[in-house]
Amino acid sequence: MSAQRSARRRAKDALLGYALVLPSLVVFGVFVFYPFVKNFSLALHRTPPFPGLPKKYVGLDQVKDVLSSSEFHKSLRITIEFVMLTVPVGIVLGLLLAVLAHKQLRGMGIYRTIFSSTVATSVAAASVIFWTLFNPQIGLVTYWMGRSGDLGVLEDPKTALIAVAVTTVWQNIGLSFILMSAGLQGVPDDLYEAAAVDGADGARRFWHVTLPMLSPTLFFSAVVGSIMAFQAFGQIDILTRGGPDDATNVLVYSIYEDVFRAGNDGVAAVKAIALFVIVLILTIVQLRVAERRVSYAR
Amino acid sequence: MRLAGRYLLLSVLALIVLFPIYITVVNSLLRPDQIASRPPGLFPTDPQWGAYKEAWEGGHIGRYMLNSAIVTTGIMVGQVLLAILAAYAFAFLEFPGRGFLFVVFLTTMMIPFEVVFFTNYQTIADLGLLNTYGGLILPFLATGFGAFLLRQAFLTVPGELRDAAALDGYGHWRFLWRVAVPLARPTVAALSVFAFLSAWGQYLWPLIVTDDDRARTVQVGLAQLRREALNDINVTFAGVVLASIPLVILLLAFQRQLVRGLTAGAVKG
């Protein structure tokens, strides 16, 4: 009797389990896995030159064409440049602010709130603000650089990507500061005391205690920051629309243009798969290192 | 002396970080000719509040903020609810394929939205949901990250509590809402604040699935305001200030939860 009852109970529990995960699974199925798999089919079919004609199966031809095209190489190079321009600077700035504001001193709460404040901006708000700052007629940055009336920094292919990067770094300062501060809080005080007893001064304590103890946070921020930078879109769309002369045409922006300007989702799918592979590699590196660290801790 | 130096450095850095925000507020209170004048005015001697009314009504920022509020709330509530349900199943129920399904949830974290957005656009268009709240909300209802975090929180609920609840005749549903969720409240709060922050700031998706005022969100509205309000740039600045108010409130009122949400991965990593 009771065995029967517990069997029935187990069946009921299992049914409830499926029912509870089902809503999420449906959303994932429709909006994550289906479009993900669809990319591979899109990549194997060429979009016809005129709408209305059937798509043509071309095997890996399109994949090879896109991956070997100079347009794709340029876009990938610009994206990597953008990552290099934003991620290291963002981490160093966040770390600097966090270290300075870490001491328990009078008024530190105000500084912490200020340094976190850019979290309350959005990509679009930050981009609109910096667009006006960079504007050749009314922009203060151009005015202070003595470039008023000249070619604006956003119109100059040599400076446009840097300007987009500055906007991005500023918008992410709050996040970087918060992450670094949380990391600093995880460093035990007795390590500093021990270092002080050993006669280490401030700079030595920073290099030999803070930095090593913070390495997991730094590493995590570098990987997550890179993944975020590889996905950048809003600041490009608002500041430069990929220009001038494709100087800021990062990967996601070029995917957007392929689909919504050129109507070519085949080419877009190949680039999207490339973006996925890049993010996947970064994620795996992050997981591997985190795993190794866990086993050290034991 | 070294203390004074530290404060000086902190203050200079604070000024640099704050400057773009400060100049935005100032410019929203200046007349366009004052903004363009050289040397620039850095202080509103005669604040003009008209730009706010113009942004709210003429620039449709009022309507866009309402749209954003509805969409953001929908995403936040949906994400947290669906994550709670799934996390409960993964933490407390046994069923064949549980481990596999959990891996499926984790896998979704490796597929960025930027890889799938154009096919999702087609799906939403096929469903007839362009320019609707549903079209803006649906793709973001489920979160692998949220389900993962909440499962971790649920796993810390002591076994004795479950036994005691079972003795009291609590079924799963009552145990979930009366015991498990209240105990996981810090995680639920962090997840909610994080969901709000990211949903409010979305740009790419609302840009492509809305092309009129019915559902357009405030972030896209800001970009539009900048394009259209060239002659009265102060209105654009007022729009930026208005659109940032909800996030400022979020930051001030839920700083702790926000920090928890943002660092959820980092502290473990």
pLDDT digits (tens, 9 = 90+) for B5-38: 889 999 999 999 999 999 999 999 988 888 877 7
Residue A188 maps to a domain: yes
Chain A contact probe: residue of B118, B217, B237 with most A CBs at under 10 A: B118
Indicate the number of domains in chain B: 1
pLDDT at B266 over 60: no
Residue A14 maps to a domain: no
ipTM of the complex: 0.91
Contact at CB, A237 and B207, closer than 8 angstroms: yes
Residue A21 maps to a domain: no
pLDDT at A270 over 90: yes
pLDDT of residue A186: 83
Residue A211 maps to a domain: yes
Residue A50 maps to a domain: no
Assess B111–A contact: CB distance below 8 Å, yes or no.
yes
> pLDDT tens for residues B140-196?
999 999 999 999 999 999 888 888 888 888 899 999 999 999 999 999 999 999 999
- The rounded distance, in Å, linking the Cα atoms of B219 and B210 is 12
Q: 240-269 in B: which are within 8 Å (CB) of A?
A: 240, 243-244, 247-248, 250-252, 255, 258-259, 262-263, 265-269
User: What is the domain-level CATH number for residue A232?
Assistant: 1.10.3720.10
Residue B106 maps to a domain: yes
- The rounded distance, in Å, linking the Cα atoms of B250 and B228 is 29
What mean pLDDT value characterizes chain A?
Answer: 89
A 10 A CB-CB count for A172 gives 27
Hey, CA dihedral for A94, B13, A128, A120, is it positive or negative? positive
For residues A226 and A87, is the Cβ–Cβ distance under 8 A?
A: yes
pLDDT of residue A298: 38
- The rounded distance, in Å, linking the Cα atoms of B123 and B140 is 14
Residue B38 maps to a domain: no
Determine the distance in angstroms separating the CA of A194 from the nearest CA of chain B, rounded to an integer. Answer: 22
Contact at CB, A101 and B144, closer than 8 angstroms: no
Residue B11 maps to a domain: no
pLDDT at A295 over 60: no
A121 versus A196: which is more confidently predicted?
A: A121
Domain extent at residue B99: 49-268
pLDDT of residue B265: 52
Residue B77 maps to a domain: yes
pLDDT of residue B230: 58
Which pair of tokens denotes residue B22?
């400060």
A179 vs A174, A249, B149, B221, CA distance in Å? Answer: 9, 29, 18, 30
- Region A62-88: mean pLDDT is 95
pLDDT at A89 over 60: yes
Give the nearest partner residue to A21 out of B10, B101, B266, using CB atoms.
B101
Contact at CB, A97 and B13, closer than 8 angstroms: yes
pTM: 0.91
| % residues pLDDT > 70 (chain A) | 96
A48 — pLDDT class (breaks 50, 70, 90) = confident
- The rounded distance, in Å, linking the Cα atoms of A25 and A31 is 10
> pLDDT tens for residues B107-117?
999 999 999 99
For residues A100 and A114, is the Cβ–Cβ distance under 8 A?
A: no
Indicate the number of domains in chain A: 1
Contact at CB, A100 and B82, closer than 8 angstroms: no
What CA dihedral angle connects B81, B87, B92 and B96, to 10 degrees?
120
What CA dihedral angle connects A80, A82, A84 and A87, to 10 degrees?
-120
Contact at CB, A120 and B83, closer than 8 angstroms: no
pLDDT of residue B1: 59
pLDDT at B269 over 50: no
Name the phi and psi angles at A45, rounded to 5.
-120, 135
DSSP state, A118? G
pLDDT at A193 over 90: no
The H or E element spanning position B92 is: helix B61-92
Residue A156 maps to a domain: yes
User: What is the domain-level CATH number for residue B115?
Assistant: 1.10.3720.10
> pLDDT tens for residues A149-174?
678 889 999 999 999 999 999 999 99
Q: 7-36 in B: which are within 8 Å (CB) of A?
A: 7, 9-10, 13-14, 17-18, 20-21, 23-24, 27, 35-36
Assess B179–A contact: CB distance below 8 Å, yes or no.
no
CA-based nearest residue in chain A for residue B22: A129
Residue A13 maps to a domain: no
Assess A220–B contact: CB distance below 8 Å, yes or no.
yes
Determine the distance in angstroms separating the CA of A28 from the nearest CA of chain B, rounded to an integer. Answer: 7
For residues B241 and A122, is the Cβ–Cβ distance under 8 A?
A: no
Residues of chain B with C-beta less than 8 angstroms from the C-beta of A38 = 119
Residue A215 maps to a domain: yes
B133 — pLDDT class (breaks 50, 70, 90) = very high
Domain extent at residue A79: 70-297
Residues of chain A with C-beta less than 8 angstroms from the C-beta of B119 = 34-35, 38-39, 42, 265
Contact at CB, A122 and B9, closer than 8 angstroms: no
CA atoms within 13 A on the CB side of B260: 15
